[in-house]
Amino acid sequence: MSADIRTVLVDEDEGYLQFVSDQLSEFNGRIQTHLATESDEVIDLVKDNQVDCVVISYEGDEEDGVNCAFDLNDSILGVESDVCTILHPSPNQVHIVNEAFSRGFDSIVAKGPGIDPIEILEDEIVSCVDSAQTGVSDLYERFVESLGDPMYMFDDEGYIKSANSAMVDMLGCDCTDDVIGMHATDFLRQDDFEEGTENIKEILRNPELESITYDVVVSPCSHTELVGEISVSPLIDTNGEFSGTVGTIRDVGDKQEYIQNLNSLHDITRGLLNCESFEKVVDQAVVSVEELFGVELAAFFVLDGNDDNDALVPTAESEASQDLLGGSPVLGKDSLAWSVYESGEAKYSPNLHDETDIHNQNTLLRSELLLPVGDFGVLIVGSQETDALDEMDRELANVFAANLEEALVSIHREEQLKEREQKLKRENERLDEFASVISHDLRNPINVIRGRVNFTAEKYEDTENLDHALSTIDRMSSIIDETLTLARQGKTVGETTLVSLSDVAAESCDNVAIDRDRVSVEPAHSEFYADPSKLFHIFENLYRNSLEHGGDDVTISVGPVDGGFYVEDDGDGVPDEKKGEIFDVGVTTDRDGTGIGLAIVSRIIEAHDWDVAVTDSDEGGARFEITNVEFKEVRSDEDEVSVVWPPQPS
């Protein structure tokens, strides 16, 4: 009986090591495995002469993993050159074979799904230990056969020297002998072969490339052409000379089809986003689904709109759906569609006859995909074929549903915007009408009354009562002026420009009849963007409020706060019970006040998207803090850039 083969399996993944160990023991009782995750442990076993073969594996494509594997092999061979070493890399590591050979590995067996690669690994362990096989061809041929993907080895003229069974199958041949000796141009187009030749030359000029991957068209012996993705890497013999190429060819026809469908989906999405109404979007959606996936049923369901919203009703369906089913039914809360709508998770039924809670047990459909579309409804895609939608179809369908939701969200926002615009237009029209009434129908009679009272006062010496009348007329005029200001400010701002807090605070004194020396402005580099004319209204009304409530001796302070600025005085302040309503129209703590000035302030601040709060100043007066103001960033002269906030209309 042959001696046991003492084999050390090396990998960071202990679970994978145990799987390989179990399979090797089952395939061949001679192979006695020891599992190791650390290099030092392996070297100690080699030094103690307890190892015949070391299988070095690593995870992924990381350069560190490759280097660690090569370094460990160097260390092993430095201790005991008779120990066989086998590299066990990921299946897409063709480009490392040259270096693996030059670094002294006896064989390479790629990882792969299932147990087939482990069977090949078992053969290689026995072969390497029982007989010394050397040479670049042996090494590559064993590696070629270990891969699950179609893999080839060409000589330096482009003829196949070795190919694995997957390559034989791809070329439509019966056995490996049928493939050996074929030239690359027997199954590749001439221009693809020439591109590969140029790629090999490029790698030889620049070894850091290691391999190049590009798309080709493969013409098998017994079936139609397919789109492939080929990798090429040069073979270098022991003398350092080019001796051929090695690589893999993968059928990426599904990938190409997916890309084509994805491009079609992008075009469809652009079309959906250009639709002008909800109805047009969903109508276009069901037609597009039918064309994109080649199905007989495409329908979009929405809530029935009743108070209970307890059913989904079809709002759009394809013509084929109507012909096949006579129109889509109403789907209640016990339907699959309803559960998909509530859960927000898609459901695919490859065979509807296996479902117990479908709406119609006698349906002509065999497979169905239910896709939630946000709060809008459910898109149903169905076919008379069992399992008509593969994984790629379902992935595209989910992308389509997400794009459909975005299109419907866009329509919904546009409709809301139009409603707001119409509402704003109606409000502005009413405000204009209101302003016209105040400006003409009230102001003109008041001017007449003022003139009559002044005329009468000139004829009589006792004018005390007339003075009271004139004071009342002046108050009425103030109310009219402030009401017009409130009506015309609205909730929008005009063009914004960069303004200085200190300049606005000082210049606002001139329109309020308050001496500038009674308004102190805290020095600061505070510039921000605002509608200047409306900003002056803020300061003027706050100053008037201070004068009305603080008297002729009141002093006012202005300065920056975090994210904004403040205006405060040393007057009587605002009672706590009034602070929550002080910005409402008609609210005032002054018997002679109009209750409109602070409402104007609030409207203008809101139009700028700022915030305002009223508190107490340190002196007990009123303090108004305006925040959420976007200040210009202070930069050095070298870093100075223009700031535009908010974006100006073009």
Assess whether pLDDT exceeds 70 at residue 486.
no
Is 183 among the domain residues? no
- pLDDT tens-digit series, residues 430-441: 766 766 666 666
Distance between CA 576 and CA 589 in Å, rounded? 12
**Among 46-60, 293-307, 454-468, the least confident range:** 454-468
Distance between CA 200 and CA 93 in Å, rounded? 17
pLDDT at res. 311: 86
pLDDT at res. 146: 53
How sure is the predictor about 589, in pLDDT bands with cuts at 50, 70 and 90? low
On the question of a cis peptide bond just before residue 646, with omega within 30 degrees of 0, the verdict is: yes
How many angstroms separate the Cα of 107 from the Cα of each of 49, 190, 235, 300, 411? 21, 34, 15, 59, 63
Q: Percentage of the chain with pLDDT > 90?
A: 13
Is 511 among the domain residues? yes
Is 555 among the domain residues? yes
Backbone angles phi, psi at 159, to 5 degrees: -95, 140
Most confident option among 93-97, 574-578, 643-647: 574-578
**H or E, element range at 163:** strand 160-163
Q: Percentage of the chain with pLDDT > 70?
A: 81
Distance between CA 431 and CA 192 in Å, rounded? 74
**Among 304-308, 446-450, 579-583, 599-603, the least confident range:** 304-308
- pLDDT tens-digit series, residues 30-60: 899 999 888 888 888 888 888 889 998 876 5
pLDDT at res. 415: 86
Mean pLDDT calculated for residue range 446-463: 78
Q: Which two tokens stand for residue 303?
A: 């809530």
Q: Which residues, listed in sequence order, are joined to residue 568 by a DSSP beta bridge? A: 557, 623
Check residues 97 and 133 and name the one with the higher pLDDT: 97
Average pLDDT, the chain: 80
pLDDT at res. 431: 67
- pLDDT tens-digit series, residues 317-326: 887 777 766 7
Q: Which two tokens stand for residue 152?
A: 């080839």
Q: Which residue has the tokens 């639709």?
A: 275
Is 28 among the domain residues? yes
Q: Which two tokens stand for residue 385?
A: 């074929």
Is 617 among the domain residues? yes
SS3 (DSSP) at 159: strand
* 594 within 8 A of 479, measured Cβ to Cβ: yes
68: domain CATH number?
A: 3.40.50.2300
Distance between CA 87 and CA 67 in Å, rounded? 12
Distance between CA 468 and CA 490 in Å, rounded? 34
Which of 420, 425, 328, 414 is CA-nearest to residue 377?
328
Check residues 611 and 68 and name the one with the higher pLDDT: 611
Distance between CA 234 and CA 267 in Å, rounded? 41
Assess whether pLDDT exceeds 90 at residue 372.
yes
Assess whether pLDDT exceeds 50 at residue 646.
no
> DSSP label at 631?
B
Is 416 among the domain residues? no
Assess whether pLDDT exceeds 60 at residue 572.
yes
* 177 within 8 A of 162, measured Cβ to Cβ: no
For residue 83, the enclosing domain spans 1-148
* 401 within 8 A of 285, measured Cβ to Cβ: no
Check residues 251 and 300 and name the one with the higher pLDDT: 300
pLDDT at res. 558: 94
Assess whether pLDDT exceeds 90 at residue 569.
yes
- pLDDT tens-digit series, residues 192-242: 899 999 998 998 888 777 788 888 888 887 667 788 888 888 887 767 788
SS3 (DSSP) at 52: coil
Is 58 among the domain residues? yes
Distance between CA 88 and CA 107 in Å, rounded? 9
SS3 (DSSP) at 529: strand
Cβ within 8 Å of residue 620, ≥6 positions away: 570, 572, 573
Most confident option among 235-249, 418-432, 537-551: 537-551
Distance between CA 457 and CA 241 in Å, rounded? 121
pLDDT at res. 447: 78
pLDDT at res. 555: 93
How sure is the predictor about 639, in pLDDT bands with cuts at 50, 70 and 90? very low
pLDDT at res. 421: 79
pLDDT at res. 614: 93
Distance between CA 108 and CA 106 in Å, rounded? 7
Check residues 516 and 307 and name the one with the higher pLDDT: 516
Distance between CA 605 and CA 547 in Å, rounded? 21
532: domain CATH number?
A: 3.30.565.10
How sure is the predictor about 335, in pLDDT bands with cuts at 50, 70 and 90? confident
* 299 within 8 A of 380, measured Cβ to Cβ: yes
Distance between CA 601 and CA 404 in Å, rounded? 44
Check residues 349 and 117 and name the one with the higher pLDDT: 349
State which of 107, 131, 148 marks the end of a domain: 148
Assess whether pLDDT exceeds 50 at residue 264.
yes
Most confident option among 88-102, 260-274, 558-572: 558-572
State which of 113, 148, 183 marks the end of a domain: 148
* 242 within 8 A of 204, measured Cβ to Cβ: yes
Mean pLDDT calculated for residue range 442-470: 77
Is 122 among the domain residues? yes
How sure is the predictor about 1, in pLDDT bands with cuts at 50, 70 and 90? very low
How sure is the predictor about 649, in pLDDT bands with cuts at 50, 70 and 90? very low
Burial-class residue 276 by CB neighbours within 10 Å (0-12, 13-18, 19+). exposed
Q: Which two tokens stand for residue 412?
A: 């919904």
Assess whether pLDDT exceeds 90 at residue 9.
yes
pLDDT at res. 642: 38
How many domains does the chain divide into? 2
pLDDT at res. 435: 66
Mean pLDDT calculated for residue range 597-618: 88
State which of 120, 148, 176 marks the end of a domain: 148
Residue 43: CB atoms within 10 A of its CB come to: 19
Assess whether pLDDT exceeds 80 at residue 483.
no
